[in-house]
Amino acid sequence: MNRRTHLHRRLGITAALVIIFLLSFSAMAGAVRPMPQFSLPSATDGKTVSSDDFKNKTLLVTFFATWCPPCRQEIPTLIKLQNEYADKDFSIVALSVDEGGPKVVKKLIDSQKINYPVLMATRAVANNFGGISGIPTTFLVNKKGNVVKKYPGYVPHQLLVRDINTVLQ
């Protein structure tokens, strides 16, 4: 194989790797897609809350469970964010995957003084969000109702503030 053929082969391989990298990066970033519709019972009073109730709001939708340590760890951050951004058409919406029912969840809401809606999730809603492989899993939704970011696991306050501010602009 001469030098020129070897160079062309290496350039071709490099170009293919760059394309694969860019495709995988865009897949990881996730395409913007509409937030799934839902109608779920509130953990506090059982009244049905619909995704339509949050139209034209920026949302942070988090799937959690009362028995999950990282989920409990992020509650003060979520309370703080709800306080900081409530006047900017923003809301946290927590979706509990607890199988113990709303009584268990309501105890946590009361003890932690949670100031945002907490709903009882269904498996169908979790699947509609693309499947929840672990908790917490959180989604940032813009005012147009599109999911713009997915966060698997615990998310630091500063990262959420940065991303919320970006979406609010």
CATH number (domain holding residue 63): 3.40.30.10
**85 and 140 housed in the same domain:** yes
**89 and 162 housed in the same domain:** yes
**61 and 114 housed in the same domain:** yes
pLDDT in tens, 81-132: 999 999 999 999 999 999 999 999 999 999 999 999 999 999 999 999 998 9
**77 and 42 housed in the same domain:** yes
Q: What does residue 96 show for φ and ψ, rounded to 5 degrees?
A: -80, 130
> Looking at the 3D structure of the chain, how many domains does it have?
2
**64 and 107 housed in the same domain:** yes
Q: Is the pLDDT of residue 16 over 60?
A: no
Q: Is the pLDDT of residue 24 over 80?
A: no
Q: Which of 14-23, 35-44, 63-72, 127-136 has the lowest mean pLDDT?
A: 14-23
Percent of the chain with pLDDT over 90: 79
**26 and 37 housed in the same domain:** no
- Cα 122 from Cα 114, distance rounded (Å): 21
**134 and 102 housed in the same domain:** yes
pLDDT at 131: 87
Q: Is the pLDDT of residue 62 over 60?
A: yes
Q: Is the pLDDT of residue 3 over 80?
A: no
**Cα three-residue angle 146-150-151, rounded to 5 degrees:** 150
**90 and 70 housed in the same domain:** yes
Q: What does residue 42 show for φ and ψ, rounded to 5 degrees?
A: -70, 140
**7 and 65 housed in the same domain:** no
Q: Is the pLDDT of residue 11 over 80?
A: no
**83 and 111 housed in the same domain:** yes
**45 and 80 housed in the same domain:** yes
For residue 44, what are the CA distances in angstroms to 57, 90, 103? Answer: 22, 20, 8
pLDDT at 19: 35
- Cα 64 from Cα 97, distance rounded (Å): 6
Q: Is the pLDDT of residue 149 over 60?
A: yes
Q: What is the mean pLDDT of the chain?
A: 86
pLDDT at 15: 38
**59 and 120 housed in the same domain:** yes
Residue 23 belongs to domain spanning: 1-30
